[in-house]
Every structure is written in structure tokens, then in C-alpha cells.
Amino acid sequence: MTETIQRKINDSAFARWTALVLIASTMFFGYMFVDVLSPLKNLLETSRGWNSTVFGLYGGSEFILNVCGFLIVAGIILDKMGVRFTGLLSASLMVAGAAVKTYGISEYFCQGGFGFEFFSSFLTDIPASAKLACLGFMIFGCGTEMAGITVSKAIVKWFTGKEMALAMGLEMAIARLGVFAVFSLSPWVAELGSPSVVRPVAVVGVLLCIGLLTFLVFTVMDRKLDRQTGAAAAAGEPEEQFKVSDLRRLFTSGTFLTVAALCVLYYSAIFPFQRFATDMLQSNLGITAKQASDIFRWFPIGAMVLTPLLGSYLDHRGKGATMLLLGAILMTACHLIFALVPLTPLIAYSAIILLGISFSLVPAALWPSVPKLIENRLLGSAYAVIFWIQNIGLMAFPIIIGWSLNVSNPGVAEQIKEGVEGAAYNYTVPMLIFSCLGIAAFLLGLWLKAQDRSKGYGLELPNIKK
């Protein structure tokens, strides 16, 4: 009997790497938008009256709807509807949220435009511009986190048995390039002409539409893959139907929850730090926002270069649990340096490089480890549950850090607003909080490694079996 083995589209290296570039582009523009205001904390303070607490609240707002349950729903949608529908929905949500946020900080709205009166009528300590920007950022956050889990599942779909960790590493590297780009461009675009926070947000908002288009092109390729695997014919994408009751399995798996806890501790000391890093460097070194941003932008570049290399290492050699541990140690060292050592530009660059290495080790090892713990039909929900737990930290820590900055620096916000020369925040307390998160992540990493050794999950094993 002769058996014909049909070559699928993802068997072609060119096709699967093209698919990766298309979905990674959506994330590239998404990550740009996430941090478009991060280098502009000072300008927001002087032009829109956002103090550190308000800025922290704005940073946390991206995750509020996700934490309220949207991400769990997103995971279910992903497992039930597949990557194409979920990806397009999430990219559209990003564009819609970006539009609301742009309007919220616009001159038109701030000078009494449509909705201004309503947004000024409650929580009067918070500027109306911040409240509407937070609403937009919440909607955008639903889109970007939903896109994050969708892209992870799409990569597993296209790269299983192939270069999966390398592909995830490359996707994250492209996203980091977006962070580099926005830390380079945002202060520059803001200063073109009269200083404006709206201009960079509007520019990156337009770029998000390109991200929506690249995902649209990916759906054409993905449809072809489904036709070839026959998965589409079997009523929906998943080979085995996903049941909502399966979610219990995730919440009762000790190792899965340990990975999720490690994820929330680690990322809570990365992304919220990223929001405040420019201002921290500006305050500690007595430099401008543009100069501080120019130092900090090398952080994502370090991560960008190393993440795919470490992903490839994981594919061929393994050592995922060890990489998680090492990453937590380096991150703690970096935050302790910022907390305790008098800063010079050289020390700042060195600490940023340490953090960049750490931010390659952990993501390169963490995300490709999930398919080792959870079967494919639950994968969308598994990523969603991890993101959900992580989002609780990403929502809480910018708020905690903004608040701790305000209370540990009485009167400084007022001085900055009044333009007092030399007024700057002391970041010791926030940086010690970030360091504690790193220590806790390290301890959990030790526990995970011990669990892996005793239960044999294979976290230390390579992805590609010879």
C-alpha cells in the first residue's frame, strides 16, 4: 500500500517564518503603543497634571478589564474559535482602545471637548484626561493581551516539532525592538514643534492599523494550513473539543500554578519598572527625559539580541528551569544596584545590560515550557490563565510603585509641577520593592526546579528530540 504524505505549508521554512514575521509585526506595533507614554512621565506631569500616583494608575489600567475576567474569556474564545478569529478581534480592540486614549489626552478633549464634563464629574483628584486615557488603555489592554496568547498558540500550531522556542524567542525579540523604537522615537516626536504628548500617541496609533493588516494576511496562510491538516473541517480549529470545565485542570495543577506565580513575580518587576525607568534615571542622574530614554532603550535591545539565541539553545539543549533561576538572580541584582548604589551613567548602563540578559533568560524559557505541562487543546486557556495571574501583578505594581514614590517623596510632585529647579524623586523605596519581587521569583524558581526533577516534566530537556 502506498501512502502519500502531503507536505503542509508550515513544512516550508520560508512560509512558517513569513507567518511568524506577520504575527510578530502585530505585536511589534502593540508593544510600541504599550510604552508610548513611558518616556513622557515628566511632560504628562507638567502639561496634563498627572502626578506619580495618576501615572501609576494609568500604567495599571491597561490590565484592569483583563483581571476582571476578560482574559479568561479571551482564552476560552481562543480555544473555541481559533487563532484567526481571536487574532483579528484582538488587533481591532487594540486600534479601538488606542483611538479612545488618543482622544483622552488630546487638546480638544482637555479644553472641554465632548465628554470632558462627564469625566471631570467624578474622582475629581484625577484629571479627566487621565480617566479617559485609562479607559482607552483598558480596551487596548484587552486587545494586546488577547493578541499575546493568540500569537503564542499560533506559534505552537505552526512550529511544534520544529524551532518552537526559537520562534517564540524571535517573536519576543521583534516585540522588544518595538519597545526600543518607541523609547527612541516617543520623546523625539513629542518634541517636534511645541512639546506634545498627543503627537507620539497618535503616530503609534496609526501604526497599530498596520499591525491589524499584517495579522489579516497571516489569516490567509493559516486558513491554508488548516485546509491541509483537515482541522478546519472538523468543526472549528481544535482537534479535540475544548470544554470550559477543563479549566479546573489548570487551577489544580501545582506545577502550572508555580510557573504562573513565577511569571507574575518576575514580570511585575519588569513591565511596571519599564514605565518608571526613564523617570528613575532622569531623577537619579539629573539628566533630561530624552537622555534617560536613550540609556534605557538599550534594555530591550539586550533582550532582543539574546532571546532568540537562548530560545534556540532551549530547543537543542534544554535547561529551561535553570534559565528561569538565573534570570531571577540577574534581575534582583539590577534592581538592588538601582536601589542602593550611587548612580553614574556607567553603572546605569551596566545594570540595564544585566536586566537585558535577565529579560532574555526568563521569557525564552518560560513561554515554551507551557506546552510541556499542558496539552494542546487547553493551550489557549493555559496561556490565558498565566496572563491573567500575571496581569494582576502588572495592574497592581504600577499603582503600588506610583503610590510609594509619592509617599516616600513628600512635596516633590508639587515642586516638579511648579518647575522648581533640581526637584527630583528618590527612587530607593520603589526599587527595593522591585528587588523583593526578584528574590521571591528566585525562591519559586528553586521550587520549580526541584518539582521538575522529582516529577519529570522535562523542563530541563530540549524541545527538539534527536
Ligand X SMILES: C[C@H](N)C(=O)N[C@@H](CCCCN)C(=O)O
Q: Is 152 in the site for ligand X (CB under 6 A)?
A: yes
From 40-48, 146-154, 217-225, 231-239, give the range in contact with ligand X by CB under 6 A.
Answer: 146-154
Q: How many positions of this chain bind ligand X (CB under 6 A)?
A: 12
Reference 404, options 55, 29, 45, 39; nearest CA is 55
Closest contact distance (angstroms) between CB of 375 and ligand X is: 19
Minimum Å gap between C-beta 145 and ligand X is 5
Footprint of ligand X on 81-140 (CB under 6 A): none
Q: Is the dihedral of CA 379, 384, 385, 389 positive or negative?
A: positive
Q: In Å, how far from its chain's centre is CA 382?
A: 17
User: CA 169 to CA 423: how far, in whole Å?
Assistant: 41
Which span sits near ligand X by CB under 6 A: 145-153, 372-380, 423-431, 450-458?
Answer: 145-153
The CA distance from 58 to 288, in Å, is: 22
Burial label, 449 (beta-carbon count in 10 A; 0-12, 13-18, 19+): middle
Smallest gap from Cβ 112 to ligand X, in A, equals 35
Q: How far is the CB of 466 from ligand X (least distance, A)?
A: 27
**Interface with ligand X, residue 145, by CB under 6 A:** yes
Q: Which of 175, 177, 179 is nearest to 148 (CA)?
A: 175
Neighbouring C-beta atoms of residue 316, cutoff 10 Å: 14
Does residue 35 touch ligand X according to CB under 6 A?
no
CB atoms within 10 A of CB 32: 26
Q: Which amino acid is at 255?
A: T
Which is nearer to ligand X, 109 or 397 (by Cβ)?
Answer: 397
Q: Closer to ligand X at the Cβ: 52 or 274?
A: 274
Q: Given phi > 0 = left and psi -120 to 50 = alpha, else beta, which region is 64?
A: alpha
- Of the candidate spans 148-156, 294-302, 328-336, 434-442, the one that interacts with ligand X by CB under 6 A turns out to be 148-156
CB of 149 to ligand X, least distance (A): 7
Nearest to 324 by CA among 276, 366, 288: 366
Q: Binding to ligand X by residue 267, rule CB under 6 A?
A: yes
Length of the chain in terms of residues written: 466
148 binds ligand X, rule: CB under 6 A: yes
Subset of 313-372 contacting ligand X (CB under 6 A):
363, 367
Nearer to ligand X, 196 or 390 (CB): 390
One of 9, 40, 151, 167 touching ligand X (CB under 6 A)? 151
CB of 327 to ligand X, least distance (A): 11
123 Cα distance to chain centroid: 28
What grid cell was written down for 379? 493551550
- The three cell numbers of residue 123 are 474622582
Give the x-and-dash track for 160-199 against ligand X (CB under 6 A). -----------xx--x------------------------
The answer to whether 274 contacts ligand X (rule: CB under 6 A) is: no
> Any contact of residue 387 with ligand X (CB under 6 A)?
yes
Q: How far is CA 247 from CA 118, 132, 235, 393, in A?
A: 40, 34, 21, 21
61 lines the binding site for ligand X (CB under 6 A): no
Q: Is 434 in the site for ligand X (CB under 6 A)?
A: no
Give yes or no for a contact between 464 and 316, defined as CB atoms under 8 angstroms apart: yes
Binding footprint of ligand X on the chain (CB under 6 A): 145, 148, 151-152, 171-172, 175, 267, 363, 367, 387, 390
